[in-house]
């Protein structure tokens, strides 16, 4: 048999040209396939292997984190378009941006109807001054929209995330709608509000003045300075939290105070602060390992090294993804 | 921290963007592969799946999942693929005579993933020279003529090596009961 008529070569040619998506027309190739059931089966398998090898290459080439950024960006754009079409929206990231926002917001007249939305990315923090002169230090992953309603003469705020508010004194109430029906009403005061969508509790820490909290079921709690109110999202109950109020303010000094805090919660905090994803390989250690103390490290690896020094865990980091395992 | 699919989706419904990003990480590549098998278009597949996740986030409060999250996502991906193919056909861009493969269920998809993983292992076991040729052609998509030039062997030799590789890979997959 001369090499030009080698059926194997013909079949490879066919796979190469059509990616194995059809049956060959070539007589020599057809004859080989039809010689026996075994050959027919072999040919089917070869086509599958040939095509699959390309699929595997495609599968391996997909970069999840790059594509996540595309999706994330489009969702943020979409949310701006749909929800705040007529509002000013600011994404706060870094100092330069926040200085700019203070300037822009101060131009707005405080007693006119207008809306403004500020947002911080995961890993970013910033400070803004609202049109009424109130200043807000935003922790990462927070969104605040402010609206002055001249009819009801109220300063209306919608908020998720964590922030320290210093509300300017005014006879117009400053009302924050948090989530699950929880509302805070304040006049002039300073307090920290921790209200991340993923958390079980929403915590308000009052440092001065007065805050009145109201739930959807009209449960009312009046906070005095030094007290912490905890709103349990699962049963919508408001209670006074026995925790140390100073510890809840630690984020402004880059400190995380841990009072017997489970590893799982420490990880959630780190994810927000450093914009990373942390997976705990063994779910049992997420709840069973607890930490007490204060973390004040600069980088995520410093924090993780510190945690590994305190307990029998180790970690592996690839880009923004961290996996924690038992040692 | 590592929630199961169901709890992760519940957290998404409760507005957790972190949970949403984890869900994305968990399913994105698998869904892309699934869509790619239908559309045969790399970029379009990733677009289709990204669109699916954007809709998932936007409509999270309305979505109710009756069976598993995985079954729900693969069903949504299947519908999105069919819509895409339909729109391509309307644009007269669909390749003539190209048949989309039969629609699989998600369990078949898991099987196919296992098949791919095993194939990769078998490729790694090929004799050095055959592996080189196979990887260059199938993974790096080099033309036979280019491979022949690079390795300084005839195209005929390369075709022979590809045939031998297919023989070996089939045996290897058969031994693992994957084909």
Which of A314, A51, A249 minimizes the C-alpha distance to B33? A51
Range of the structural domain that residue B53 is part of: 5-97
Q: Does the beta-carbon distance from B14 to A198 stay under 8 Å?
A: yes
pLDDT at A16 over 60: yes
Q: What mean pLDDT is reported for chain B?
A: 84
Integer Cα distance of A10 and A16 in angstroms? 10
Q: Does the beta-carbon distance from B25 to A278 stay under 8 Å?
A: no
Tell me: do B9 and B91 sit in the same domain. yes
Tell me: do B91 and B154 sit in the same domain. no
Place A100 in a pLDDT band, splitting at 50, 70 and 90: very low
Tell me: do B88 and B110 sit in the same domain. no
Place B51 in a pLDDT band, splitting at 50, 70 and 90: very high
Global confidence as pTM: 0.48
Q: Could you say which of 3.90.1300.10, 3.30.465.10, 3.40.50.10420, 3.55.50.30 is the CATH number of the domain covering A254-326?
A: 3.55.50.30
pLDDT at A26 over 50: yes
Q: How far is B95 from chain A (nearest CA, A)?
A: 12
Number of separate domains in chain B: 2
> What is A114-246's CATH topology?
Jelly Rolls (2.60.120)
Instruction: Provide, as residue numbers in chain B, all residues whose Cβ is less than 8 Å from the Cβ of A123.
Output: none
- Please give the pLDDT value at position B91: 60
So what's the ipTM on this one? 0.81
- Please give the pLDDT value at position A113: 57
- Please give the pLDDT value at position A150: 77
Give the 3-state secondary structure of residue B104. coil
- Tell me how crowded residue B62 is: count the other CB atoms within 10 A of its CB: 7
Instruction: Provide, as residue numbers in chain A, all residues whose Cβ is less than 8 Å from the Cβ of B136.
Output: none
Nearest to B25 among A21, A45, A64 (CB): A64
pLDDT tens digits, one per residue of A178-210: 888 899 998 778 999 999 988 889 999 998 888
Place A83 in a pLDDT band, splitting at 50, 70 and 90: very low
Compute CA distances A127 → A163, A235, A251, B86, whole Å.
9, 33, 13, 50
Instruction: Provide, as residue numbers in chain A, all residues whose Cβ is less than 8 Å from the Cβ of B2.
Output: 279-281, 283, 286
Tell me the two tokens of residue A158.
């919608």
Tell me: do B66 and B150 sit in the same domain. no
Mean pLDDT score, B15-20:
81
Q: How far is A17 from chain B (nearest CA, A)?
A: 10
pLDDT tens digits, one per residue of B93-123: 444 444 455 555 566 777 888 888 889 889 9
Tell me: do B138 and B167 sit in the same domain. yes
Sheet containing strand A321-326, strands side by side: A277-280, A321-326, A313-318
Q: What percent of chain A has pLDDT over 70?
A: 87
- Please give the pLDDT value at position B122: 92
Which of A103, A158, A135 minimizes the C-alpha distance to A252? A135
Tell me: do B88 and B137 sit in the same domain. no
For chain A, domain boundaries: 3-108, 114-246, 254-326
Choose one of B97, B115, B150: the last residue of a domain: B97
In this structure, of A91-100, A235-244, A252-261, B153-162, the range with the lowest mean pLDDT score is: A91-100
Angle of the A27-34 helix axis to the A7-18 helix axis, nearest 10: 110
Compute CA distances A33 → A8, A13, A27, A52, A294, whole Å.
10, 14, 10, 20, 72
Place B148 in a pLDDT band, splitting at 50, 70 and 90: very high
Q: Does the beta-carbon distance from B28 to A68 stay under 8 Å?
A: yes
Give the 3-state secondary structure of residue B161. helix
CATH value at residue B29: 1.10.1740.10
CATH value at residue B158: 1.10.10.10
Cα B161 to chain centroid, rounded? 26
Give the 3-state secondary structure of residue B41. coil
Q: What mean pLDDT is reported for chain A?
A: 81
Choose one of B44, B73, B97: the last residue of a domain: B97
Tell me: do B86 and B121 sit in the same domain. no
Tell me the two tokens of residue B108.
């078949």
- Please give the pLDDT value at position B67: 85
| Stronger pLDDT, A248 or B100, i.e. the higher one | A248
Tell me: do B132 and B164 sit in the same domain. yes
pLDDT at A93 over 90: no
Q: Does the beta-carbon distance from A271 to B29 stay under 8 Å?
A: no
Tell me: do B90 and B115 sit in the same domain. no
Tell me: do B92 and B130 sit in the same domain. no
Q: Does the beta-carbon distance from A59 to B32 stay under 8 Å?
A: yes
Choose one of B43, B64, B97: the last residue of a domain: B97
Instruction: Provide, as residue numbers in chain A, all residues whose Cβ is less than 8 Å from the Cβ of B163.
Output: 8-9, 11-12
- Please give the pLDDT value at position B87: 81
Tell me: do B132 and B51 sit in the same domain. no
Mean pLDDT score, A65-79:
83
């Amino acid at each position: 048999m001369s090499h030009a008529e080698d059926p194997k070569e013909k079949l490879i040619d066919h796979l190469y040209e059509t990616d194995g998506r059809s049956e060959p027309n070539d007589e020599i190739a057809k004859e080989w396939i039809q010689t026996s059931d075994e050959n027919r089966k072999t040919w089917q398998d070869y086509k599958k292997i040939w095509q699959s090898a390309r699929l595997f290459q495609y599968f391996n080439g997909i970069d999840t984190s790059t594509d996540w950024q595309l999706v994330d960006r489009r969702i943020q754009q979409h949310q701006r378009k749909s929800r705040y079409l007529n509002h000013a929206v600011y994404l706060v990231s870094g100092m330069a941006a926040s200085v700019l926002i203070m300037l822009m917001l101060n131009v707005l007249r405080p007693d006119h109807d207008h809306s403004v939305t500020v947002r911080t990315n995961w890993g970013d923090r910033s400070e803004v001054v609202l049109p009424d002169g109130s200043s807000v230090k935003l922790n990462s992953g927070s969104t605040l929209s402010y609206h002055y309603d001249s009819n009801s003469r109220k300063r209306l705020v919608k908020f998720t995330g964590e922030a320290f508010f210093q509300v300017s004194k005014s006879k117009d109430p400053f009302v924050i709608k948090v989530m699950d029906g929880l509302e805070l009403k304040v006049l002039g005061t300073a307090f920290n509000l921790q209200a991340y969508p993923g958390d079980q509790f929403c915590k308000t820490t009052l440092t001065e003045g007065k805050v009145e909290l109201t739930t959807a079921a009209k449960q009312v709690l009046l906070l005095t300075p030094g007290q912490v109110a905890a709103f349990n999202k699962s049963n919508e109950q408001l209670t006074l939290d026995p925790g140390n109020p100073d510890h809840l303010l630690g984020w402004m000094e880059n400190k995380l105070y841990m009072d017997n805090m489970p590893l799982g919660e420490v990880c959630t905090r780190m994810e927000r602060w450093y914009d990373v994803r942390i997976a705990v390989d063994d779910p049992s250690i997420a709840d069973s390992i607890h930490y007490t103390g204060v973390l004040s490290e600069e980088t995520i690896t410093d924090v993780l090294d510190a945690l590994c020094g305190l307990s029998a865990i180790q970690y592996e980091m690839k880009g923004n993804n961290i996996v924690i395992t038992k040692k | 921290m590592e929630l199961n699919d169901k709890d992760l989706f519940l957290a998404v419904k409760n507005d957790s963007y972190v949970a949403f990003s984890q869900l994305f990480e968990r399913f994105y590549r698998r869904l892309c592969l699934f869509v790619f098998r239908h559309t045969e278009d790399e970029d379009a597949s990733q677009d289709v799946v990204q669109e699916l996740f954007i809709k998932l986030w936007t409509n999270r409060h309305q979505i109710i999942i009756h069976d598993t999250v995985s079954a729900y996502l693969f069903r949504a991906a299947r519908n999105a693929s069919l819509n895409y193919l339909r729109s391509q056909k309307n644009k007269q861009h669909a390749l003539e005579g190209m048949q989309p493969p039969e629609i699989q269920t998600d369990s078949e998809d898991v099987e196919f993933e296992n098949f791919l993983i095993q194939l990769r292992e078998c490729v790694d076991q090929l004799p050095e020279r055959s592996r080189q040729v196979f990887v260059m052609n199938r993974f790096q998509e080099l033309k036979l003529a280019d491979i022949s030039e690079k390795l300084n062997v005839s195209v005929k030799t390369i075709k022979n090596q590809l045939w031998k590789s297919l023989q070996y890979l089939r045996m290897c997959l058969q031994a693992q009961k994957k084909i």
